[in-house]
Each structure stands twice: as C-alpha cells, then as structure tokens.
Amino acid sequence: MENGFEDLIASYIENKVGISEHFLSPELANHLKQNLIDLNQKSLLLAAGIGNSEKVSYDGAIRSDSIYWLDKKHKNVFEDEFFTQIDAFILYLNESCYAGITGYEFHYSLYEKGDFYLKHLDQFKNNPSRKYSMISYLNSNWQESDGGELMIHQENNNQKIAPTQGKTIFFKSNELVHEVLITNNTRMSITGWLKSD
C-alpha cells in the first residue's frame, strides 16, 4: 500500500502531478465500479454543479457529468475500504510532508459519451479548505480512442492523462488548471479533495 502512496508523493514533488498506477487494487476498483453502475441504474446520480453549497450553479455547457457523494453513513463495505485507504494515505502524507490535512470529501463521477468538463481550478474563491485533489479511475480496457483524458495545464508542459482503472492522480487544488476532454465512452471515477478546515 505504501508503495502507491510514495509513488503519488514522489511524482507530485517532481512534476506537481502525483500519479500512482495501482493506488487501488484491481479487486477494490472493480467493486467500486459495480457500485457506481448499480447507483446509476437506480437513477441515484445527480447532475454535477459548479461551485460549493454556498454558491452552486448548473451549466451543462461547462460540465456535463453526474455524481453521487460517498459517505461513511452508507455503511457500504467497499466505500469503507476506500475510506480506510484514504485515511492511511492522509496519515502517511501528514507524517512525511507535514501537509496538515484534517478531512476529505469524495464522490463517484460518471461521464457518458459526449460528456466533458471545461478548464477549472478545484479550490473555491470563497472557501480555501480544499488543499489537494485526488482522482481514482475505474475504467478497465480504456482505449486511446475513448478520449476522456484529464488534461492538466502547466506552463510549457500540458499533461494528458488517460483514465485507466486503478490509476490515481494527486495535485494541489489551487495550483493547476485542468479539464476533462470529451469522452467517447462511459467514463467512471472517484473524485475528491483532501481538506484542511
């Protein structure tokens, strides 16, 4: 487990974008993906908004994905396993990098064919509590023709990241403008933020 943690931190230090190819085990990724599929079949996902609870709006011209918030109150064994891993990563991050993370929030994210999310930062102007963004992908057998890459914009170094299953991305929420390119296939992930309130 700690190898995945160190992969995220070492690549983040090198390039401002942490990448671990196997942060999630294949078994956990498959179970979380099935959870997301089941939730979608029950019509429990909601249109994703822009902004936070104090100032939220919905604009399909900016983002068109659907989401469902993870919560320990669900008492879902696989969501709880995911939270256990996040708790361990935060402990490792705080002890090794003095990050000061005190909480987090995560949601499932579903992009259907044709969906996208235009360029944005993850930290709100009216609330700086989001410190790091994390995205864990749940897409097996993803092909280049499927699109849906995460495009991270850095000066002289734009980075296009395929959303392949098990891969997790980690970066500062207030630093890097990023977008989700148009997907040509169903694209699934868990997206969230490590916070310091």
The conformation of residue 63, written as its DSSP 8-state character, comes to B
Is 75 inside a domain boundary?
A: yes
Three-state DSSP class for 138?
coil
For helices 77-97 and 2-15, the axis angle rounded to 10 degrees is 50
Give the rounded percent of residues in the chain with a pLDDT score beyond 90: 79
Is 41 inside a domain boundary?
A: yes
pLDDT in tens, 42-62: 999 998 876 555 556 666 778
Is 55 inside a domain boundary?
A: no
* Element spanning 35, H or E: helix 26-41
Q: What is the per-residue pLDDT for 60?
A: 73
Is 57 inside a domain boundary?
A: no
Domain with residue 85: its CATH number is: 2.60.120.620
Helix, strand, coil percentages in the chain from 3-state DSSP, rounded to 5: 30, 35, 40
Three-state DSSP class for 28?
helix
Q: What is the per-residue pLDDT for 62?
A: 86
Is 29 inside a domain boundary?
A: yes
Q: Mark the ranges of the chain whose per-residue pLDDT is less than 70.
A: 1, 50-59, 124-126
Measured CA to CA, the distance from residue 46 to residue 67 in angstroms comes to: 5
Domain count of the chain?
1
Which of 131, 126, 176, 184 has the alpha carbon at shortest distance from 151? 176
Is 128 inside a domain boundary?
A: yes
Domain that holds residue 104: 1-49+62-195
Is 156 inside a domain boundary?
A: yes
Is 5 inside a domain boundary?
A: yes
Report the sign of the C-alpha dihedral through residues 3, 6, 10, 11, in that order.
positive
